[in-house]
Amino acid sequence: MTKTLLRALAGETLPTPPIWMMRQAGRYLPEYRATRAEAGDFLSLCYNPDLAAEVTLQPIRRYGFDAAILFADILLLPQAMGLDLWFVTGEGPRLSTATRPAEVSALKGPDDIHDTLGPVYETVAILSRELPRETTLIGFAGAPWTVATYMIAGRGTPDQAPAHQLIAEDRATFEDLIDRLTEGTIAYLSRQVEAGAECVKIFDSWAGSLTGDDFDRYAVEPARRITEAMKARHPGLPVIAFPRGAGERYEGLHARIGADCIALDDGVSAHWAAAHVQPGGCVQGNLASSHMVTGGETLVHETRAIVDAFSGGPHIFNLGHGITPDADPENVQLMIDAVRGKVAA
């Protein structure tokens, strides 16, 4: 096995960690903005396999990242399950909602989502032909909880209050929704793997707002079920779980979820995570994405500190969350050079 990302996921400690960035194909890159303008809007870009493959490849060509992540969105699955989805420029996603028992039971099951999602699988197939030999192709889906928060509120929310309210008022319907999303996610990720994804990542961006038993029931348990099913269907498939905002609950999650890698946000220090999370397996992260805006010596220093903190075990260098549109593309190169030891700290 020569691909560095797959080696780290298999538990190998490498002299230089492999690198990729969440949202590495995105609005901070002029070439992304040009292709997106050609596609029209964001969803048209997601469902156009040639253009979605093109934007996936752009950061690989520019920076030589060790992994490419499929260009798509976590909200395509609820759309395939029957909800309306649209994006309001400058504001974010809007969806029709599923909160009543009849609306949840009307959602399409795992066998009926693939007509809508077919172009995504086609994007994966193009990428697995066109990526450089050393670059790992990552497929992904949202975690059931995070996707449910958008399906319940009809939009992004700062505190996921509508989803917490549904748990309080009608837990059975909420759990039905989580189960259906878990099944849909397994079907969606399986097709990505069949089309050529070499690893999958489960994005639970809002895991941090779950407290007490709800964290175990709605963040840990669905991720465990998805990971178990994916590994049963695709033996040897590495899985990365990203329960963002888990804080001290990151400890022990490799074993509890069964994931090969736990992705860390920047709310935990690399020193703490090296001592408490990395003993369980590969970790990914966790530079604050604000450094991609501000750059300079602080960026180099913080990057080296993370590389050094995790140097005793398997590590994939990444940001703690997605790169933002106001980031400077030159700072990305500076970060890569710092990780690869090409600039002095």
The binding site for ligand CP3 (CB under 6 A) comprises 22-27, 36, 42, 69, 71-75, 92-93, 140, 142, 156, 203, 205, 322
Closest to 201 measured CA to CA, from 85, 285, 304: 285
Among the listed residues 27, 94, 233, 304, the single catalytic one is: 27
Q: Is 337 a catalytic residue?
A: no
Q: Could you give the CA distance from residue 188 to residue 276 in angstroms, rounded to a whole number?
A: 32
Q: Is 180 annotated as a binding residue?
A: no
The smaller minimum CB distance to ligand CP3, of residues 75 and 148, is found at 75
Q: Which residue is nearest to ligand CP3 (CB)?
A: 205
The smaller minimum CB distance to ligand CP3, of residues 71 and 310, is found at 71
Task: Tell me the Cα Rg of the chain.
Answer: 19
Q: Is 205 annotated as a binding residue?
A: yes
Among the listed residues 23, 180, 224, 225, the single catalytic one is: 23
Q: Is 73 a catalytic residue?
A: yes
Closest to 222 measured CA to CA, from 161, 146, 159, 274: 146
Q: Please state the closest distance from residue 198 (CB atom) to ligand CP3, in A.
A: 15
Q: Please state the closest distance from residue 70 (CB atom) to ligand CP3, in A.
A: 7
Closest to 261 measured CA to CA, from 235, 288, 275, 243: 243
Mind giving me the DSSP string for 147-213?
HHHHHHHSB--SS-HHHHHHHHH-HHHHHHHHHHHHHHHHHHHHHHHHHT-SEEEEEETTGGG--TH
Q: Is 244 annotated as a binding residue?
A: no
The smaller minimum CB distance to ligand CP3, of residues 123 and 309, is found at 123
The smaller minimum CB distance to ligand CP3, of residues 74 and 274, is found at 74
Cβ-contact 123, 71 below 8 angstroms: yes
Cβ-contact 319, 327 below 8 angstroms: no
64 sits in the region (left: phi over 0; alpha: psi -120 to 50; else beta) called: left
HSE toward the beta carbon, residue 230, CA cutoff 13 A: 37
Q: Is 244 a catalytic residue?
A: no
Q: Which structure tokens are listed for 257?
A: 């979820």
Q: Please state the closest distance from residue 102 (CB atom) to ligand CP3, in A.
A: 26
The smaller minimum CB distance to ligand CP3, of residues 70 and 274, is found at 70
Q: Is 24 annotated as a binding residue?
A: yes
Q: Is 129 annotated as a binding residue?
A: no
Among the listed residues 28, 63, 121, 150, the single catalytic one is: 150
Among the listed residues 7, 28, 32, 36, the single catalytic one is: 36
Q: Please state the closest distance from residue 170 (CB atom) to ligand CP3, in A.
A: 24
Q: Is 112 annotated as a binding residue?
A: no
Cβ-contact 45, 39 below 8 angstroms: yes
Q: Please state the closest distance from residue 282 (CB atom) to ligand CP3, in A.
A: 18
Q: Is 218 annotated as a binding residue?
A: no
Q: Please state the closest distance from residue 83 (CB atom) to ligand CP3, in A.
A: 13
Cβ-contact 206, 145 below 8 angstroms: yes
Among the listed residues 33, 73, 112, 217, the single catalytic one is: 73
The smaller minimum CB distance to ligand CP3, of residues 207 and 307, is found at 207
Q: Could you give the CA distance from residue 176 to residue 100 in angstroms, rounded to a whole number?
A: 11
Q: Which residues are annotated as a binding site?
A: 23-27, 73, 150, 205, 321
Catalytic residues: 23, 27, 36, 73, 150
Q: Which residues are annotated as a binding site for substrate?
A: 23-27, 73, 150, 205, 321
